[in-house]
């Protein structure tokens, strides 16, 4: 079996990955707080852990991997956004606005992440559906002496857990000195963090032994991962911005609530999407949403291609390196997809190149995997290229067809440019030759643009085209010359392929 090696933030080194149970490999990734469209930074953990999910499914089998990513649908940021809407004239109750806001944001999130080719996790729990489990866990922590109730709040007693700070490598005293910790009269220690807090009448709230209130953010992940994956599981992921305090707090809660288990075995953190050296974030206002970017790209390429372009740009940077979005990277990704599409023309079968799996198994070296794909394209191994690209969530049937058609169009464009250049140089013989050769194949040049009109090519030329087609197209068309002409031009994919074929042939003749 392929050995996967992953950089474990917990040990600060690359380690061989061995699941607790190879029949049920379990991964939890911190999901979004749902009150706004996801920005490009929020998409990074989604695509990074999607690649890991695909790799785990490949190595251990699809049925043997469970991936959980939560939705935080109860949070002060959500309440604040809902209040803003109320102040803006929304007459619904705060709870109604929050329900509609979180539902809508989850729908947007799904649409945007689907567009980036990310598989949906096996479970996408909403925090509000696991309040009972959160209350039980908090009560357990109080019973064990790790938490205390004060003024309607429940706080985690950080000093009761000597391991606190181990993941991020900080001591509690350093943390107090360096962090913006909230000092509050009900806290015994400034580092203690909230497990439960009181809700006002109009705020979302649930009954609890400590009065009507709502959970703190950190306990949500501890309770949901425990409910869906058990007290110990294999991989916990999220952005590096969550390592402290969120993940540190998750560990403290989970390990104190379930002292016999080890919570998450491997911790994986993706680096940040940056804008001019700073983390892309809502609070800094330096963000653009995935939707904005898709809309922008869709001005010059079809939607499906836009999604794959973003995906390819994002996975190409190693997940532990910061990355910027650049227009140049988008252009390069678009050209790469087109190149791969051409190299997989007429390809039916698919196989995954083992070198791609090996590269990904080395702490998700996607760059290395892409180098292999480019090599396959250069060597004309379309089958392994298609299988491997599909494995990375790229080159879907639709994108392949679109990109191939675009290639065909580019080939024709090249000819038109050559012809225009010839005319400019007053090389009318060459210009005429290009027009004539295209005309021979039934492609007429009209006013600088190429259009396919009623063809007048001979049967042997049709045969040539037919021979270049995949077997089932060939079978449909061979020996039916008299019917070929109308069929070819009724069939968009065929006509694109045909144009590409002709253009390449004529280009070859001119060389
Ligand atoms: N710039 C970024 N680059 C990479 N990952 C990010 C970035 N910003 C947030 N994330 C990740 O997105 C996921 C969702 O986080 P969440 O919804 O809490 O975003 P957020 O922290 O509210 O965003 P912001 O920091 O802009 O307010 C987390 O795993 C987080 O680490
Ligand atoms: Zn979390």
Whole-complex ipTM: 0.97
Find the ligand nearest to 125 CA: 2
Q: Which residues make Cβ contacts (< 8 Å) with residue 467, sequence separation at least 6?
A: 474
Distance 258 CA to ligand 2 centre (A): 17
Q: Which of helix, strand or coil describes residue 478?
A: coil
Q: Are 73 and 102 in contact (CB under 8 A)?
A: yes
What integer is the mean pLDDT of 13-33?
98
Spatial CA neighbour of 394 closest among 364, 360, 370, 368: 370
Q: Are 344 and 400 in contact (CB under 8 A)?
A: yes
Query: For a pocket test of ligand 1, which of 27, 34, 35, 42 has the largest count of ligand atoms closer than 8 A to its C-beta?
Result: 42
The gap from C-alpha 298 to its chain's centroid, in whole angstroms, comes to 18
> In the chain, pLDDT over 90 holds for what percent of residues?
71
Which helix or strand (DSSP H or E) is residue 194 part of? strand 193-198
Nearest CA to ligand 1 atom 15: 32
Residue recorded with tokens 């639709």 = 398
Q: Which of helix, strand or coil describes residue 51?
A: helix
- pLDDT at residue 497, as a whole number: 64
Spatial distance between the Cα atoms of 190 and 439, rounded to a whole number of angstroms: 81
Q: Which of helix, strand or coil describes residue 153?
A: strand
Using a 10 angstrom Cβ sphere, with 0-12 exposed, 13-18 middle and 19 or more buried, the burial of residue 491 is middle
Ligand 1 binding site (Cβ under 6 Å of any ligand atom): 30, 32-33, 41-42, 44-45, 238-239, 241-242, 270, 272-273, 279-283
Which helix or strand (DSSP H or E) is residue 490 part of? helix 481-490
Nearest CA to ligand 1 atom 17: 32
Residues whose Cβ atom is located within 5 A of ion ligand 2: 30, 221
Using a 10 angstrom Cβ sphere, with 0-12 exposed, 13-18 middle and 19 or more buried, the burial of residue 406 is buried
Spatial distance between the Cα atoms of 221 and 199, rounded to a whole number of angstroms: 20
Q: Work out which ligand 1 atom sits closest to the CA atom of 239.
A: 31
Q: How confident is the model at residue 462 (pLDDT cuts 50, 70, 90)?
A: very low
Nearest CA to ligand 1 atom 28: 239
- pLDDT at residue 180, as a whole number: 64
Spatial distance between the Cα atoms of 101 and 316, rounded to a whole number of angstroms: 33
Find the ligand nearest to 279 CA: 1
What integer is the mean pLDDT of 208-215?
98
Q: Are 272 and 314 in contact (CB under 8 A)?
A: no
**Separation in Å, CA 171 to CA 149, 256, 435:** 25, 18, 76
Nearest CA to ligand 1 atom 31: 239
Asked if residue 463 has pLDDT above 70, the reply is no
Tokens of 46: 């989604």
Spatial distance between the Cα atoms of 202 and 388, rounded to a whole number of angstroms: 52
Least reliable range by pLDDT among 165-174, 213-222, 444-453: 444-453
- pLDDT at residue 50, as a whole number: 98
Tens digits of per-residue pLDDT, 291-311? Answer: 999 999 988 777 889 999 999
Q: Are 406 and 338 in contact (CB under 8 A)?
A: yes
- pLDDT at residue 296, as a whole number: 94
Distance 243 CA to ligand 1 centre (A): 12
Residue recorded with tokens 């940056």 = 274
Task: Name beta bridge partners: 142.
Answer: none
Spatial distance between the Cα atoms of 226 and 507, rounded to a whole number of angstroms: 63
Annotated binding site for Zn(2+): 30, 221, 246, 250
What is the rounded average pLDDT for all residues in the chain?
A: 88
What integer is the mean pLDDT of 416-422?
76
Q: Work out which ligand 1 atom sits closest to the CA atom of 283.
A: 27
Asked if residue 19 has pLDDT above 90, the reply is yes
Asked if residue 354 has pLDDT above 60, the reply is yes
Angle between helices 428-440 and 397-424 (to 10 degrees): 150
Q: How confident is the model at residue 447 (pLDDT cuts 50, 70, 90)?
A: very low
Which helix or strand (DSSP H or E) is residue 232 part of? strand 232-239
Q: Which CATH fold topology does 5-270 show?
A: Rossmann fold (3.40.50)
Spatial distance between the Cα atoms of 489 and 498, rounded to a whole number of angstroms: 9
Tokens of 384: 């392994």
Ramachandran quadrant class, 289 (left: phi over 0; alpha: psi -120 to 50; beta: rest) = beta
DSSP, res 452: E
Q: Are 112 and 218 in contact (CB under 8 A)?
A: no
Asked if residue 452 has pLDDT above 70, the reply is no
* Numbered ranges of CATH 3.40.50.620 in the chain: 5-270
Q: Are 205 and 213 in contact (CB under 8 A)?
A: yes
Q: Work out which ligand 1 atom sits closest to the CA atom of 32.
A: 17
- pLDDT at residue 464, as a whole number: 53
Nearest CA to ligand 1 atom 7: 41
Q: Which residues make Cβ contacts (< 8 Å) with residue 119, sequence separation at least 6?
A: 50, 53, 54, 393
């Amino acid at each position: 079996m392929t050995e996967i090696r992953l950089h474990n933030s917990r040990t600060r080194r690359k380690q061989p990955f061995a699941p607790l149970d190879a029949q049920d490999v379990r991964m939890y990734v911190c999901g979004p707080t749902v009150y706004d469209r996801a920005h490009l930074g929020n998409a990074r953990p989604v695509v990074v852990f999607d690649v890991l999910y695909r790799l785990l499914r490949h190595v251990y089998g699809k049925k043997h991997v469970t991936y959980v990513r939560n939705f935080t649908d109860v949070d002060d940021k959500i309440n604040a956004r809902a209040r803003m809407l109320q102040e803006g004239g929304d007459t619904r109750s705060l709870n109604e606005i929050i329900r509609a806001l979180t539902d809508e944001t989850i729908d947007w999130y799904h649409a945007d992440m689907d567009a980036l080719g990310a598989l949906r996790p096996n479970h996408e729990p909403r925090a509000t559906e696991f309040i009972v489990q959160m209350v039980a866990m908090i009560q357990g922590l109080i019973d064990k002496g790790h938490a205390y109730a004060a003024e309607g709040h429940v706080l985690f007693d950080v000093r009761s857990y000597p391991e606190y700070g181990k993941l991020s490598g900080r001591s509690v005293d350093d943390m107090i000195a360096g962090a913006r910790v909230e000092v509050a009269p009900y806290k015994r220690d400034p580092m203690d963090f909230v497990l439960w807090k009181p809700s006002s009448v109009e705020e979302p709230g649930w009954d609890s032994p400590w009065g009507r209130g709502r959970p703190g953010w950190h306990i949500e992940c501890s309770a949901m991962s425990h409910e869906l994956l058990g007290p110990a599981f294999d991989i916990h992921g999220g952005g590096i911005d969550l390592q402290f305090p969120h993940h540190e707090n998750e560990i403290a809660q989970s390990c104190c609530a379930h002292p016999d288990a080890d919570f998450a075995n491997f911790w994986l953190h993706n680096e940040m999407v940056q804008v001019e050296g700073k983390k892309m974030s809502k609070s800094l206002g330096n963000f653009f949403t995935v939707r904005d970017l898709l809309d922008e790209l869709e001005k010059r390429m079809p939607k499906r291609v836009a999604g794959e372009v973003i995906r390819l740009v994002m996975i190409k940077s190693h997940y532990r390196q910061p990355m910027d979005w650049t227009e140049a990277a988008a252009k390069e990704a678009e050209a790469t997809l087109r190149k791969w599409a051409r190299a997989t023309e007429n390809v039916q079968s698919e196989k995954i190149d083992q070198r791609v799996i090996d590269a990904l198994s080395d702490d998700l070296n996607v760059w290395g995997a892409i180098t292999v794909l480019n090599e396959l394209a250069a060597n004309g191994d379309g089958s392994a290229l298609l299988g491997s690209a599909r494995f990375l969530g790229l080159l879907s049937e639709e994108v392949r067809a679109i990109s191939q058609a675009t290639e065909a169009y580019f080939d024709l464009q090249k000819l038109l440019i050559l012809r225009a250049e010839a005319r400019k140089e007053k090389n009318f013989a060459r210009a005429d030759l290009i027009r004539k050769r295209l005309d021979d194949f039934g492609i007429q040049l009209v006013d600088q643009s190429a259009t396919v009109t009623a063809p007048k090519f001979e049967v042997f030329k049709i045969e040539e085209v037919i021979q270049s087609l995949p077997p089932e197209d060939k079978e449909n068309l061979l020996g039916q010359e008299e019917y070929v002409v109308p069929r070819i031009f009724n069939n968009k994919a065929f006509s694109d392929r045909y144009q590409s074929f002709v253009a390449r042939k004529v280009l070859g003749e001119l060389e």
